[in-house]
Structure 1
Amino acid sequence: MTSRSNEQALSRKQKLREQQRRQLKVLDQVEKHEKKLASIDEDKEKKIAAIEADAAQETTVVEREMAKTIVEAVEAFGSQPNAAEQLGMTLGDIRRYLNQDKDGQEEATTDVQATEAAAGPREPAREVPVTGDGPAPDDLPETAGTAQTDAVGEGAGVEEPVGVPAA
């Protein structure tokens, strides 16, 4: 009778261990899937943020183009009210785009000035002796294919393409 009881006890222990092993396996799988879902959600949020940033940048570009077009429309139609009427827009919208264009031009001017300031001082133009036939052969500037006018006053030092008469 002892052997039967030992077999039943082993059997119960084996069943219990098997059940615990399956439970642990399921728990491990659930944790693995939870981590994967969290990773997917994180990637999704990053992608959404990138798409929103791209859309905002594209919107800015299109609004700047629209502002330039509105400036042309006002010029073409003669006034802001006429442009608004012909385009089916409110006068407020026309003015908003005109202000955007003005702001965009100011930003562009500031960017150009900042770029020039960062580049540092420019080297002064190099003077090249000019004869009646053009620059002396030893003193040809890097701008080969151009000739400088030798007039004094207006146009002095202006480079013009060779073969094109000065206006």
Structure 2
Amino acid sequence: MLVVLASIYIFFKPLNIKQQAFVDVPLFEIKDFTMYELDPTGLHTIMLGSTATRYSNRYTVKDIDYTDNKNKEYIANMQANNGIYKNDIVTLTGNVTYTRDDGLTFKTQKAVYNKKTSDVVSNVGYVAYMNDSVLRGSYIKYNNEKNRIFSKNVRAKIQLQER
């Protein structure tokens, strides 16, 4: 009997079971997602998507359509294939289109929008349109509240209008 126990101890080793810690588990997933953010002044933000996954610290949204109504003069709308909404920062990727009520539009592949500062930044190249004017550049930082654009490596085709 002792020989059998000794041979089991020598020849058989315990299974090494890999343990996995899940630290980023989705809380829930929603199809045809719509989120409204309200503050004391009224409707502040609308975020839509075909699918949204809620994690403990963020939302990930497919086919995101994000509208910021913070600046009552000009409403900004952003659409993209994917978006992440975390800590008042919206990160958009894939066919990003930024549109404003006054006709300003720009397209890029990645943009980051900061709700607190109203800045939208893209450093992967963009094409902007305003009326018949077209701008192309490698970097854009646009502030919706101050209506200011900072850009790098700009090529512009500007159509002047008579008054």
Same topology, TM > 0.5: no
More helix by share: 1
Greater Rg by CA:
1
With normalisation by structure 2, the TM-score equals 0.23
Normalising by structure 1, we get a TM-score of 0.22
Give the structure, 1 or 2, with the largest relative contact order (CA under 8 Å, sep 6 or more). 2
